């Protein structure tokens, strides 16, 4: 990993123009010295694509001035071997890329969507890694689906398979999720930690969408996060603080109740019952969508966007 930020060049190239009709602001990108000049337009297109995907959560970026730093690596076979978010001012997302990768392969890699999705909540003071990593794991799939990288069936297949990976990590089943998450560097239970967190956000999303049936204004996790961004993005908040604020904004106890439930869990909570209620039926590891299920409309709304709930 290259840490010499002073040796980087600001982009995007002048040849790439903003879409003035949609008023999309070009992302701020810095390239490391080892990024060849001819690769910069391709990498810029990739970052623009991921920015547009993130906008599909609630119609705007959580923060317009965050910086994307791109560094090069020829190690490994994945398109994007590594990424991280630094909550500096402005926030910085660092992505290490394989220079031999095509634009299509970069777009198909989950890493950039995951790292960008971390920006959907204020800095959570790193006190509940399962909480923030779960949000990024949940929205990395939703943003890819909404921008057309895969269809609805694939979205739910990916979420189901993630929950299955989390469920298979049972070697610390004697310890609560909160403890396992705080000691991730010792136990390496990444799948249980990340996908328990993703299930937390899915359950919150479904609960909010169900609540909206009886509300004057439709609600969803997308809109709750938009309201959170408007009030609190520049604050340093604990996971408890974030859930209390989301409860206040949604006029519910959904987030804090689920935080208590998941923090105390000894394994990833039941996900098959929830998926079934959404019309996600699992047959020998493959999913089939049932549009007659009780919550199938909520499932479809997650795949598209919140606008479905206003119809």
The predicted-structure confidence for 20-75, as pLDDT tens digits, reads as follows 334 556 899 999 999 999 999 999 999 999 999 999 999 999 998 899 999 998 77
Peptide bond between residue 292 and the one before it cis (omega within 30 degrees of 0): no
pLDDT at position 13 is 27
Q: Model confidence at 18, in pLDDT bands (50, 70, 90)?
A: very low
Whole-number Cα distances in Å, 52 to 22, 26, 40, 174, 309? 11, 10, 18, 42, 22
Task: Flag whether pLDDT at 115 surpasses 50.
Answer: yes
Closest CA to 174 of 155, 158, 189, 156: 189
HEC sequence for 240-301: HHHHHHHHHHHCCCHHHHHHHHHHCCCCCCCCHHHHHHCCEEEECCEEEECCCCCCHHHHHH
Q: Which residues contact 269 (CB under 8 A, 6 or more apart)?
A: 196, 199, 203, 261, 262
Q: How confident is the model at residue 306 (pLDDT cuts 50, 70, 90)?
A: low
Phi and psi torsions of 16, nearest 5°: -95, 115
Q: Provide the pLDDT for residue 77.
A: 80
- Rounded to the nearest integer, the mean pLDDT of the chain is 88
Burial class (CB in 10 A: 0-12, 13-18, 19+), 286: exposed
């Amino acid at each position: 990993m290259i840490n010499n930020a002073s040796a980087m060049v600001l982009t995007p190239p002048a040849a790439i123009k903003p879409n003035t009709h949609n008023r999309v602001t070009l992302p701020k990108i810095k390239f490391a010295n080892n990024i060849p000049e001819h690769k910069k337009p391709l990498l810029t297109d990739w970052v623009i694509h991921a920015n547009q995907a993130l906008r599909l959560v609630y119609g705007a970026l959580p923060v317009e001035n965050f910086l994307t730093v791109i560094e090069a690596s020829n190690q490994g076979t994945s398109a994007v071997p590594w990424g991280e978010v630094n909550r500096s001012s402005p926030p910085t997302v660092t992505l290490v890329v394989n220079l031999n990768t095509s634009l299509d392969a970069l777009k198909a890699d989950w890493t950039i969507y995951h790292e960008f999705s971390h920006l959907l909540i204020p800095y959570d003071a790193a006190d509940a890694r399962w909480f923030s990593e779960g949000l990024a794991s949940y929205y990395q799939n939703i943003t890819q689906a909404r921008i057309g990288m895969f269809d609805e069936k694939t979205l739910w297949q990916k979420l189901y398979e993630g929950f299955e990976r989390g469920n298979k990590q049972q070697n610390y089943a004697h310890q609560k999720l909160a403890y396992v998450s705080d000691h991730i560097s010792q136990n390496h239970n990444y799948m249980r930690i990340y996908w328990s967190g993703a299930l937390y956000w899915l359950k919150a999303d479904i609960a909010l969408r169900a609540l909206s049936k009886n509300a004057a204004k439709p609600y969803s996790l997308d809109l709750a996060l938009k309201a959170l961004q408007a009030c609190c993005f520049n604050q340093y908040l604990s996971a408890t603080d974030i859930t209390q604020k989301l409860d206040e904004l949604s006029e519910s106890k959904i987030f804090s109740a689920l935080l208590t439930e998941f923090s105390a869990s000894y394994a990833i909570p039941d996900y098959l019952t929830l998926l079934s209620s959404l019309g996600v039926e699992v047959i020998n590891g493959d999913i089939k969508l049932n549009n007659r299920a009780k919550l199938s409309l909520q499932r479809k709304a997650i795949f598209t966007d919140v606008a479905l709930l206003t119809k």
